[in-house]
A and B are shown apart, each in its own frame.
Chain A
Amino acid sequence: MVLWMLELSPLEIEALRLSLLVSSCAVACSLPFGILLAWLLARRDFPGKVLLDGLVHLPLVLPPVAVGYLLLAGMGRQGLIGGWLYRSFGVSFVFSWKGAALASAVMAFPLLVRAIRLSLENVDRGIEAAAATLGASPFDVFLRVTLPLSLPGVLAGVILAFARSLSEFGATITFAANIPGQTRTLPVALYGVTQTAGGDAEAMRLCLISIGLALATLVASDLLARRLDRRLKG
C-alpha cells in the first residue's frame, strides 16, 4: 500500500506541483492586500466600511462558479481589467496557472482577512501606545509591534487560505479551465479522472494525495504556531 502510494505517476506529480505552485502564489500575492484590508477593517472607521466588509466576504457565500464567471467577465481578455492588462502588458490570466492562482486567491481572501483582522483586534493598544511614547511613528509601531504581535493570526490566515486554495475547484475550472500543466491542479485532476471510465483507482490515489497534503499542511502550521507562541510569550 505504502509502496503503491510512493510511486507517483507523471500526472500526479504534475497535479501536485501545480497545486503547490498555485496555492503558494495565491497566498503570497494576496497576503499584503489581506493585511492592508484587515488593518482597515480592524482599526479604521470610514464611510462604506460595511460595504467593503461585505465585498471581502462575498466569495465565502457566492457559488464558486459565479466567482469564476465574474472573473472571466472582468479579468478575461475581453474583460474590462483583463483586456487592459493583456493589451498593455501582454499578461493573460485565462487558461494559465496564473488564472488558477487568481481564482484561488479570490476564493481564499475572506478567510485570510478574517483571521488577520481578528488578531489585529486582539493586539494590546496599550503596548502600541508605549512604543509611540518611545519615539516610534505609527508606521514604525505597525511594523515593529502590531504586526509581530499579530503574527499568530497572520499565520493562521495564511494556513487557512493555503488550505482553501488547495481545495479550490469551482472558480478555477470556470475561469481557468482544465489544462494539463497549466491549471490541472489536484482537485481539477481528480474531477477529470472521475469523469473517465475505469478511473476509480486513480481517483482514490488523488484523494489520498490530497489528504496527505492537507495533513502535512496542518502539522507544519501547528509546529510553526508553537514556535511563534514561544517567541512571543518569552
Chain B
Amino acid sequence: MLSVRVAKRFGEFQLDAAFEIGGPKITALFGRSGAGKSSVVRLLAGLERPDSGAVRLGGRELTGLPAHKRRIGLVFQDGRLLPHYSVRGNLLFGFERAAEPLIAFDEVVALLGLERLLSRRPGTLSGGEKQRVAIGRALLSSPQLLVMDEPLAALDGARKAELLPYIAGLAERFHLPILYVSHDPEEILRIASHMVLLDAGRVLAEGEVEQVMSRPEFAAAAGSRSLLSVLVAVVEGHDAERRTTCLSFAGGKMAVPLLDLPAGSAVRAQIKADHVILARGLVPGLSVRNQLPGRVVALTPMGGMIDVLLDVGCPLHAELTYESCRELQLAPGMAVTALVKSAAILTALSATPARPR
C-alpha cells in the first residue's frame, strides 16, 4: 500500500497531489504533459524533496529517506542504463545492493528475454532492448513498488506492442504494486486496472480505469471533446466470414472488427459518446452492427450538447444535440436503443480479468 500526499512549488507551478495505490496491480498515473507526473515520480523516489507532505509505503514512512533507502524501483523513459557496465552489470547493480533479494536473477532474465544480451554494452542495444534491461534492473533491486515513468514513450508502435504484454504481467507475477505513468489512454486501457488522473498538479479522480475514463475530467485531460465509455468484455468468438469478433459484456453481445485474440480473452472496449446514436426501439435496414437496448439514466447539459447517460447493462454515454433530445422526447427511465458502429469501438486486450457487474 502506497499513500502519497505531497506539495511542492516549482516557480509558477504548484503541485499538490494526494492518492493511494495498493495491491499487486497496475495503477496508471495519467495526465497530459505538464500535469506534474514526472514531479510526482521524483518526489516519490526521493530524488526531490517536497515542501510538505508524506509518503508511506507498506507501513514504512519514506518522507525523509534518501532515494537509495526507499526501495522504489524506477524505470525511466530514457532507460538510463549505466553506460560503463554490461547488461549483466546493470542487472546486478541493484540486485547486489538489495538487502533481501526477493526476485531471482534467472527468472527475470528469462521473463524479459535477456539471455543473449547479458554480455552486451548498453550503447549497442536497441531502444526496446534498453527498456527491457531497465525493467529487469529495477525488478532485481527487489523494490516494494515499481514506478514506470512513461517507459514506452520513446519507442515506436511495434516495440510498444512487443513490450506491453511483459509489463502487463509483472504486477501479478512478482506480487508488486506498479505505478505506470502515461499520457496514452490506449496503453492504460491495455495494462492498468486502476488509475489516478492528474491535472495541473492536482488529482482530479482516482479509481478503476473504467470509471475514471468515463468522467468528464478525463475527457478534458485526454483532449477529447466528448465523454468516453469503457466497457469490460470477453471475446466470445470470431466470425471470419463477416470479419468480426463477437464480444460479450454485461449488457449482451457486441460486434467489433476482427481481433487477433483467443476466445475467452478479457478486453476493454472504449466508445466515444459522439459515436453513439440513439433510437426508440430497434431499427431495421441499418449498416450499424450493434443495437444495444437500454434505458436513459440521466440527461446532463455539457457545453452546447446534452450528455445522455444510458444503462445498457453497464453505463454508456451518448452525446446528443438539444434538438435530438427534444425530438426523441428523452427522459430518465425511457427505453431506447443505442446504435454503435463496430468500427467506432476501440478494443484493447486487458490484463485484468473481466468482472461481472
| Complex: A148 Cα to B89 Cα, angstroms | 14
In the complex, whether B123 has a CB less than 8 A from a CB of chain A is: yes
* With A133-B68, A134-B141, A148-B84: A234-B123 Cβ-Cβ less than 8 Å: yes
Q: Tell me how many residues of B have a C-beta within 8 Å of chain A.
A: 31
Contact B82 A127 (CB under 8 A): yes
Expressed in whole angstroms, the Cα–Cα distance for A148 and B45 within the complex equals 24
Q: How far is the CA of A133 from the CA of B122 in the complex (A)?
A: 18
Report whether B80 and A130 are in contact in the complex, using a CB–CB cutoff of 8 Å. Answer: yes
Q: Does B76 contact A (CB under 8 A)?
A: yes
Q: Which residue of B lies closest to A137 (CB)?
A: B68
B189 to chain A, nearest CB (A): 28
User: Does A198 sit within 8 A of B, measured CB to CB?
Assistant: no
**Residue A80 interfacial (CB < 8 Å):** no
Q: Does A136 contact B (CB under 8 A)?
A: yes
B66 part of interface (Cβ distance < 8 Å):
yes
The answer to whether B80 touches A127, judged by C-beta atoms less than 8 angstroms apart, is yes
8 Å CB contact of B67 from A132, A145, A231, A232: A132
Interface residues of B in 59-74 (CB under 8 A from A): 66-74
A234-B122, A234-B124 known; A133+B83 contact, CB < 8 A: no
Given contacts A133-B47, A134-B93, A137-B68, contact A126 B78 (CB under 8 A): yes
Q: Which of A96-133 contact B (CB under 8 A)?
A: 124, 126-127, 129-133
Q: How far is the CB of B320 from chain A (nearest CB, A)?
A: 49
Candidate in A127, A148, A149 with the most chain B CB atoms within 10 angstroms = A127
A129-B67, A234-B121, A234-B124 are contacts. A134–B97 as well, Cβ < 8 Å? yes
Bound form: Cα–Cα A144–B137 in Å = 16
Hey, which chain A residues are within 8 Å of B66, CB to CB? 132, 137-138
Q: Which residues of A contact B76 (CB under 8 A)?
A: 126, 130
> Known contacts being A126-B76, A130-B74, A234-B124, is A135 close to B83, with CB within 8 Å?
no
A210-234: CB near B (< 8 Å → 1, else 0) gives 0000000000000000000001111
Residues of chain A with a CB closer than 8 A to B201's CB: none
Total count of chain A residues near the partner, CB < 8 A: 23
Q: Which residues from chain B contact A148 at a C-beta distance below 8 Å?
A: 84
Roughly how many angstroms separate A181 CA and B177 CA in the complex, as a whole number? 70
CB-defined contacts of A231 to chain B, threshold 8 Å: 84
Residues in chain A near residue B82, CB distance under 8 A? 127, 130-131, 145
Is B98 positioned at the interface, with any CB of A under 8 Å from its CB?
A: yes
**Which residues of A in the span 133-178 have a Cβ within 8 Å of any Cβ on B?**
133-138, 140-141, 144-145, 148-149
Beta-carbon contact of A136 and B74 below 8 Å = no
| Structural contact, B83 and A233, CB atoms closer than 8 A | yes
Contact call A135/B68, Cβ cutoff below 8 A: yes
Contacts of A133 in B (CB 8 A): 45-47, 67-68, 70, 72-74, 138, 141
List B residues 129-163 near A (Cβ within 8 Å): 137-138, 141
In the complex with contacts A137-B68, A233-B123, A234-B121, A131-B83 CB distance below 8 A: no
Smallest CB–CB gap between B93 and chain A, Å? 5
Does A134 contact B123, Cβ atoms closer than 8 Å?
no
Residues of B contacting A141 in the complex (Cβ-Cβ under 8 angstroms): 68
Given A132-B47, A133-B67, A136-B68 in contact, is the A234-B97 Cβ separation under 8 Å? no
The 3 closest A-B pairs by CB, nearest first: A234-B121, A234-B123, A134-B94
Contacts A129-B45, A149-B84, A234-B124 supplied; 8 other A-B pairs, CB < 8 Å: A126-B76, A127-B80, A132-B47, A133-B47, A138-B66, A141-B68, A148-B84, A149-B83
Interchain residue pairs with CB less than 8 A apart (14): A124-B80, A129-B80, A130-B76, A130-B82, A131-B82, A132-B47, A132-B68, A134-B68, A134-B73, A134-B138, A136-B68, A141-B68, A148-B84, A231-B84
